[in-house]
Amino acid sequence: MDTLALTAKVITFQQGAGLACIAGSLFAVQAAWRQSPLGQALVPLSRAMAWLVLCTVTLHALAYVFYPTFQDHVEATVASLGLQWLQGGEIYPPLDTHHVNGLLYGPALAEVNALGMLIWPSPIEGAKLPGVLGFLAALALSLRLLTHPSARLMLLWAAPFGLFLFFNRAEPFLLLCTVVALWAAHRIRLPWLQWGALGCLMGLASGFKLHGAAYVVMAWMAVAGVNALHVKALVTVAMAAALTFLLLFAPAGVSLEGFFHYLQLAGKHGLVARMVGENLLFLLALWLPLLAWRFSRANTAPRHGEPTDKTWLAVLLLQVLLALVAAKRGAGLHHLIPLVPVNAWLLQASLRTEEAPRAGAWLLHAMAISFALTTGWKAGHEGQLMARTWHARAEARTELQQLGTTYPGLVLASGSTTAGDVLTHLRPLLQAQGVPQIDYPAWLDLQLSGISTRPVLEALTNCRIPHLAVARGEMPLRMVSSYTQRALFDEDIQKAVDARYVLVTRHAWFDVLRCSRP
């Protein structure tokens, strides 16, 4: 089972129905818990566990930078895009090539990854660096903004996501944009300067994902309230956002037309009903502590400086819309990570004038312990996986780099098993040597959009790919799509491989095949 599937299964239970039932039961019996020794120990226990989780996740992020490969299949795609752009290629290449990008990301993601590889000239460690730094910056700023202990506890709602907090995809950067937006709306007093800053953040966030501006709007409403979104503010913010977004397309090789062409393809993916349910259950877990606090005090009317009911409702509705967007095939719960600091801010803003009422406090601390336990289990699993595979992945990495210098035009092919497909995460090493690769996650999405794999067939048939590397003992390009459970590449491509490519050498980790014309 890959990291994404494992994370989804763990988080779905822990942040979904199971957690809601456990927390609801604790809420129902909270009066008895207050009198019990266990209930009295809940607060110091949850806070101690929170700091332990904080240290664990931080160490995991730092260790991951030095792990010799990627753990998520799309990370290699993002790194390859950054490399492709650094080498003078296009971020949105035409669809008549075998090395296309079928993933719906804005140009900022490839540009930031490219910047990381300029700082650290490695297609793997350099690509990981921006995501890890972005996560650590978001965490540090969150802890500075959230001064109330109960609000800080809510950051644990993001902890079980593990790798998704700091990998090189969009989520760490959207999280950082959201937290900076909270800071800007809270600390920048000059209206025009605040609106300009928020607009720039919206444009930048949309440069990672087109709907990224919604995270910044959500943070703005949470701090300033819905009444702050008047016409003058909206016009200023929109102008700054549009300018910032367009500036991301200014460098050579970044086509605005190409971006919108790929955007049309992604619109064909559709929503998954199961994911809609999972995402809404996560929202329930996010809102339980706030609702418990709000309705457990005697006077439910908001006090001066607290978020109004209108603000709460506006933020909730926007989060529901984001949950639906995150239910698109290929998306997932991790798209909701930036919601966590926003809800933590709402809780803190509501607690400025008093400590959390008993019922809300017990529920918050009980849920925090639940998330801490989940994070501990998951961090232990991921740490064990990294430790167990570290040496083997380093060996495979070294071997592939050597093969790339020995066999010109070497392309890393997917295999016929999941274990073999994991080795394709190393393909940016060959991209760094100037050889465009077949990007398997891209073709997964393109297949859903109805794009033909004919460019791959033509490249193989005409020997434009002179050499293929594949996991030792496996058949090339037999990968099964996780979306359709059918072969990613059709029978014609498999026949072309069988007819054209012959085994040349077998090594410890890879087989090398050469294209032979009839």
Please give the full DSSP string across 60-72, using - where no structure is assigned: HHHHHHHSSS-SS
- Asked whether residue 351 falls in the same domain as residue 397, the answer is no
CA atoms within 13 A on the CB side of 365: 21
Return the pLDDT at 102: 64
116 and 228 within one domain? yes
| 83 inside domain | no
Instruction: Please tell me whether residues 398 and 331 are part of one structural domain.
Output: no
Q: Domain for residue 97, yes or no? A: no
The model's confidence at residue 306, banded by pLDDT at 50, 70 and 90, is: confident
Share of the chain above pLDDT 70, in %: 87
Same domain, 404 and 487: yes
422: CB partners within 8 A, 6+ apart = 2
Q: Which long-range contacts (C-beta less than 8 Å, at least 24 apart) are formed by 419-423?
A: 419/471, 420/470, 420/471, 420/474, 421/73, 421/471, 421/479, 422/2, 423/396, 423/471, 423/509, 423/510
Asked, for residue 201, whether it belongs to a domain, the answer is yes
Taking only the tens place, the pLDDT of each residue in 7-56 is 444 444 444 444 444 444 444 444 444 555 555 666 777 788 888 888 88
Please give the angle made by the CA atoms of 451, 457 and 459, to the nearest 5 degrees: 115
Digit-coded pLDDT (tens) for 451-484: 888 999 999 999 999 999 999 999 999 888 877 7
Q: What is the dihedral of CA 111, 334, 348, 295, to 10 degrees?
A: 150
Q: Which pTM value belongs to this model?
A: 0.90
Which of helix, strand or coil describes residue 248? coil
Coil vs helix vs strand at 183: helix
Q: Both 350 and 475 in a single domain?
A: no
Expressed as residue numbers, the domain containing 441 is: 387-515
DSSP characters over 285-351: HHHHHHHHHHHHSS--S--TTSPPHHHHHHHHHHHHHHHHHTTBTT--GGGGTTHHHHHHHHHHHHT
416 or 254, higher pLDDT: 254
Residue-wise pLDDT for 212-244, tens only, equals: 999 999 999 999 999 999 999 999 999 999 999
Q: Angle formed by the axes of helices 125-145 and 107-119, to 10°?
A: 110
Q: What is the pLDDT of residue 197?
A: 97
Task: Look at residue 47 and give its three-state secondary structure.
Answer: helix
* Predicted pLDDT at 299: 58
Residue type for position 140? A
**Is the same domain home to 301 and 320?**
yes
Q: Is the pLDDT of residue 348 over 60?
A: yes
Average pLDDT (400-420) is 91
- Res. 350 pLDDT band, cuts 50 70 90: confident
CA angle (312, 326, 55) in 5-degree steps: 80
Residue 206 lies in a domain: yes
Q: Given 325, 353, 383, which residue is the final one in a domain?
A: 383
Same domain, yes or no: 251 and 379: yes
3-state secondary structure 251-268: CCCCCHHHHHHHHHHHCC
User: Is 406 found in the same domain as 376?
Assistant: no
Average pLDDT, the chain: 86
Backbone angles phi, psi at 514, to 5 degrees: -110, 140
- From 171, 136, 99, 174, select the one nearest 412 (Cα to Cα): 99
DSSP strands (E only) in 157-255:
none
**Together in a domain, 198 and 290:** yes
Is 121 a member of any domain?
Answer: yes
**Other residues' Cβ atoms within 10 Å of the Cβ of residue 229:** 14
Domain count, the chain: 2
Are residues 186 and 321 both part of a single domain?
Answer: yes
Residue where one domain finishes, among candidates 354, 383, 412: 383
Q: Which of 353, 383, 413 is the last residue of a domain?
A: 383
Query: Are 302 and 361 in a shared domain?
Result: yes
The separation between CA 49 and the C-alpha centre of its own chain, rounded to angstroms, equals 25
**489 in any annotated domain:** yes
What pLDDT, on a 0 to 100 scale, did the predictor assign at position 233? 95
pLDDT tens digits, 176-214: 999 999 999 999 999 999 999 999 999 999 999 999 999
Helix axes 454-461 and 491-500, enclosed angle (nearest 10): 10
Cβ neighbours of residue 298 closer than 8 Å, sequence gap 6 or more: none
Residue 260 belongs to some domain of the structure = yes
In a domain, 80, yes or no: no
Bridge partners (DSSP) listed for residue 514: 467, 502
CA distances from 320 to 17, 19, 160, 278, 342 (A): 17, 19, 21, 12, 14
Q: Based on the domain organization, do 252 and 173 belong to the same domain?
A: yes
